[in-house]
Structure formats: structure tokens, C-alpha cells
């Protein structure tokens, strides 16, 4: 497995390096909330000695309904992320959806994320890879819900041929079999690592129930919040190199994907447990 590094931040993904925590908000709501979450998670991860990347989306383009909250947008969202980066001295992870977003996003984000539904969009993936390489960051590619783990070889090959180096972290987030559910196969973590890439687990989105939120009559995604810690712990035990988690001070009032979001005040206990599992493994 390749070990990939964010040299500026002294963070390494893969092999026997510490478990990397990629965590924050599902989507930016306002700067004060982002500050609150970043400050809390930085304090927790610093105390535990875990490398930490703050995550938040500036736009959630893949929504169940046209009326769903999407975020502040590219310009305002990147301004907010840059402010968090500067104030708390944290690396940033965020996702993009369009080719022309690649350069501005890579200028702010250290970990540029390709959403699962877009992981096979060649032009987008290559544009993101080139912009991220030029800025000194890494790619975090969510495995599509429609792909087997070994199908990610084509994604890795595509990126390496485009930029001439390994720079991709793969992310497991479950497979869709229809009927508003996702299933996570923990064996897929090792399968993807065998392709030569570090692998993370998106335990938040892996508990989604797409199009099955009873509060909106199916116009938004439901979720099983209680399953997030279960999947996170199982994935770390299976050898995941990092975990992707989303928190909110009041998940039931989150503007996006609240049913899959964890309460912020539970972060310390969960991350302490994940660190212990990693150490045992």
C-alpha cells in the first residue's frame, strides 16, 4: 500500500501511521457553527493525539428534492473554509462537483473529495487530480455505491496516468441494492488497500436510507444514526486508515442529513474508542 502524506500538516495515510480523522459538518450552515465544530473537534483530536482534517461541504449538489438545503455555494463556502483553516490552523477537506470548481477548491482544500456518484466522471476526476497535485494536496475519492471494491483500480489507474503519481485515498461508503438501504462489506477495505491505496470509511453516509426520510415523505434521505459508531469501529478493526464522520451540536436541527449525523458532544468518547481499536489491531 502506498503511504500518502500531507507534508505541510505532517499527516500520513496508510500502513502503521495513526488513524486519520476527517470530520466536521455535513454542509456549511454559517461560520459561527463551523467555528464551534472545528474548535471542539480540534480539541478532542489534539488531546487524543490523532491527526485531524476539518470537513464541510459548500454545496450538496446531489439532493433528493430541489427544495433541500444545499449550502452557501462555492465562493462564500470557500471563504468560510479558508477562515476556519486560518483561525484553527487545520487542513481542510471538501467536495466538488464540476470541472471549473477544481482549481478554486484545491487552492483552499488539502483533501479534495470526489463524491461517490461522480467517481467515474473522467473529466472531473482528472481536473481535480491535476489541480490538487499543483496545490500540494491529496484526492479523497468516495467509492460509488454501484461499484465493487476492485473496480476502483480503474479510478486509481486513471488518476495516476493523468498526474504521474499516486495521490488517491479511497473511501468506503457502502453499496446500494435498492429499497432505500446501503450495505457495507468490511472485506472491501482490504480489497481496496490491495490496489495500493489507503482506505477510509465514511461511516456517516454508509448509514443513509436514500429517499426514505418519513418526516419529508421521501423527499430527503433518512438514516440510522446509531449505526455510525458500529460501522466506524468495525472498519477500524478491519484496518481502515482513516474515518470520515459528520457531527452537529443538534443533529435533529441540521439542515442536511441530520438522521445520519452524530451529536458533537459524543465525539470524544467515539474517537477515544476508535484510537484504542486501532492500537489493538
Catalytic residues: 26, 60, 257
Up-side HSE of residue 252: CA atoms within 13 Å toward CB?
1
Q: How far apart are CA 28 and CA 254, in angstroms?
A: 10
The DSSP 8-state label assigned to residue 195 in this structure reads: T
194 contacts: CB under 8 Å, gap ≥ 6: 1
Q: How far apart are CA 267 and CA 221, in angstroms?
A: 23
Nearest to residue 151, comparing CAs of 186, 128, 187, 120?
Answer: 120
Positive/negative CA dihedral, 96, 100, 103, 104: negative
Q: How far apart are CA 13 and CA 60, in angstroms?
A: 26
CB 81 within 8 A of CB 92: yes
The DSSP 8-state label assigned to residue 90 in this structure reads: -
Nearest to residue 58, comparing CAs of 87, 92, 88, 91?
Answer: 92
Q: What are phi and psi of 137, to 5 degrees?
A: -100, -165
Up-side HSE of residue 12: CA atoms within 13 Å toward CB?
8
3-state secondary structure of 19: coil
Name the one residue in this structure whose C-alpha cell is 444545499: 70
CB 24 within 8 A of CB 95: no
Amino acid at each position: 500500500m502506498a503511504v500518502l502524506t500531507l507534508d505541510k500538516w505532517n499527516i500520513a495515510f496508510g500502513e502503521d501511521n495513526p488513524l486519520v480523522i476527517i470530520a466536521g459538518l455535513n454542509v456549511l450552515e454559517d461560520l459561527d457553527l463551523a467555528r464551534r465544530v472545528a474548535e471542539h473537534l480540534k480539541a478532542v483530536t489534539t488531546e487524543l493525539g490523532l491527526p485531524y482534517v476539518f470537513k464541510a461541504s459548500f454545496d450538496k449538489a446531489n439532493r433528493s428534492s430541489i427544495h433541500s438545503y444545499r449550502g452557501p455555494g462555492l465562493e462564500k463556502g470557500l471563504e468560510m473554509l479558508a477562515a476556519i483553516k486560518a483561525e484553527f490552523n487545520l487542513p481542510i477537506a471538501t467536495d466538488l462537483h464540476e470541472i471549473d470548481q477544481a482549481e478554486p477548491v484545491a487552492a483552499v482544500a488539502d483533501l479534495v473529495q470526489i463524491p461517490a456518484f461522480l467517481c467515474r466522471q473522467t473529466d472531473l476526476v482528472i481536473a481535480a487530480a491535476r489541480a490538487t497535485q499543483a496545490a500540494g494536496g491529496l484526492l479523497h475519492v468516495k467509492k460509488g455505491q454501484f461499484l465493487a471494491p476492485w473496480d476502483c483500480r480503474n479510478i486509481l489507474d486513471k488518476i495516476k496516468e493523468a498526474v504521474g503519481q499516486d495521490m488517491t485515498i479511497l473511501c468506503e461508503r457502502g453499496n446500494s441494492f435498492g429499497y432505500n438501504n446501503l450495505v457495507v462489506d468490511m472485506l472491501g477495505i482490504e480489497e481496496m488497500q490491495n490496489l495500493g491505496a489507503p482506505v477510509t470509511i465514511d461511516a456517516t453516509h454508509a448509514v443513509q436510507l436514500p429517499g426514505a426520510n418519513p418526516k419529508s415523505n421521501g423527499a430527503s434521505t433518512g438514516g440510522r444514526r446509531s449505526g455510525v459508531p458500529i460501522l466506524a469501529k468495525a472498519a477500524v478493526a478491519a484496518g481502515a486508515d482513516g474515518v470520515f464522520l459528520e457531527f452537529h451540536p443538534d443533529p435533529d436541527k441540521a439542515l442536511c442529513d441530520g438522521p445520519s449525523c452524530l451529536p458533537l458532544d459524543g465525539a470524544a468518547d467515539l474517537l477515544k474508542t476508535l484510537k484504542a481499536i486501532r492500537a489493538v489491531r
